[in-house]
Amino acid sequence: MAELSSTLLYIAFIIYLIATLVFAMSLSDKKGKENKAAYTRRWGRVGYVLSILGFISQLGYFVTRWMASGHAPVSNLFEFTTFFGMMMVFAFILLYGIYKTNALGVFAMPIALLVIAYASMFPKDIAPLIPALQSDWLKIHVTTAALGEGILSISFVAGLIFLIRVVDQTSSTKKTKMLEIIMYLLLCVFGFIVVSAISAAAGYETSFNFTDKKEQKVELTYNVPALVGPPNGTQADDHFGPLVASPSWMNGEQAPRKFNTFIWSLLTGGVLYGIVRLILRKRIAAAIQPKLMNLKPELVDEISYRSVAIGFPVFTLGALIFAMIWAQEAWTRFWGWDPKEVWALITFLFYAAYLHFRLSRGWHGEKSAWLCVIGFVIIMFNLIAVNLVISGLHSYA
């Protein structure tokens, strides 16, 4: 059953990739075609059907893995991140069904692919639940929170499309630089996947011995070359050694390894961004903009707002209300200021502020789009940095 589950996830990934290419074809320039609208609709329908088929395959992965493990497959970073990517696709399917905007697929599907590929870099072994997670609230709290984040992520996709469409690319400004930073960060996620995949294929491994803050001897294994080592650590082999030690304020014995991976992601993302810029010979957003000129900005702005209007209450229910009920049951307290609890609260407050500014202050269009982009950065910080760098009760990694 576990093998079938992995196969279904792989099939879903391939179908999502094909759907991305089909949606991109729907935006391609077809000069000389008398019925360009019909061409766009036809390829859009094909991409949409493929997205649904991919989602069904990934849903099959989810069900079969649940059957193999005996519990909801959201108990580690691989399972949660994979489910989060699936919820992004689900949200896209719902919103595309309403608005029929092909550009949404061009951006939403590759971002979901990045999330799923990112998940695949973590251990995939099925393990029994630890006692703290043996509760029905696991599937209720985590799945609802991931669904809310998936829907909110589509507001980022729509906001990014809006900004690429309307921001003047004829000169370098703060806005164009911010858009390029977003492109760079997306490439950093891809960079993490590249570095992890290459290291795994090469069978790379190096170890360190060090004493943690509890004065306990710890052996720490790295699966990518060590740029950042543990404080006062001794390398157990003659592989490439660390250039610097990890900051002393980082908690958890795995913090140096996580921070090393984080640094590799930033560096590889920078290299990839440089290569893309050399190929395009212009800013990435400037290269994409001509493909979006037939898109109505007002429509994309509405999609971003609707995504928040739907996703915000779902996220609130799962990440805060259900979480507090489970915390009271498990730890006899509703709130404990754990890093992930704090960032869930920050996410809630941010999107509450977004709705306030949107409805009360009339923040439509560009202001709204920038807020949607910032909101997604917060969500990804919670997923990546809080799990990989900051240690806490809720940290998966």
pLDDT at residue number 374: 94
What's the confidence (pLDDT) of residue 207?
Answer: 85
Residue 214: predicted pLDDT: 67
**Strand intervals (E) in the chain:** 206-211, 217-222, 228-229, 234-235, 244-245
Q: What is the pLDDT of residue 61?
A: 94
Give the pLDDT score at 133: 66
C-alpha–C-alpha distance, residues 170 and 149, integer Å: 34
3-state SS, residue 214: coil
Residue type present at position 386: V
Question: Are residues 208 and 225 in contact, defined by beta-carbon separation less than 8 angstroms?
Answer: no
Please enumerate in sequence order all residues whose Cβ is within 8 A of that of 11, keeping only pairs 6 or more positions apart, or say none.
Answer: 54, 57
pLDDT at 349: 95
pLDDT tens-digit map of 192-235: 888 888 888 888 888 888 776 666 777 888 888 888 888 777 78
Q: What is the pLDDT of residue 69?
A: 82
In 3D, which of 146, 100, 82 has the Cα closest to residue 92? 100
pTM assigned to the model? 0.87
Low pLDDT (below 70) residues in the chain: 29-35, 130-133, 212-215, 248-254, 330, 388-397
CA 114/CA 110 separation, integer angstroms: 6
And the tokens for 31? 């000069």
pLDDT digits (tens, 9 = 90+) for 30-63: 555 556 777 788 889 999 999 999 999 999 999 9
Residue 390: what pLDDT?
Answer: 64
**Residues linked to residue 218 through DSSP beta bridges, in sequence order:** 210
pLDDT at 68: 86
Q: What gap in Å lies between CA 108 and CA 362, rounded to an integer? A: 26
What confidence score (pLDDT) does residue 281 get?
A: 92
Residue 94 sits at φ, ψ, to 5 deg, of -65, -50
Helix, strand, or coil (residue 216): coil
Joined together, the tokens standing for residue 153 give: 């992520």
Distance from C-alpha of 211 to C-alpha of 219, rounded to nearest angstrom = 9
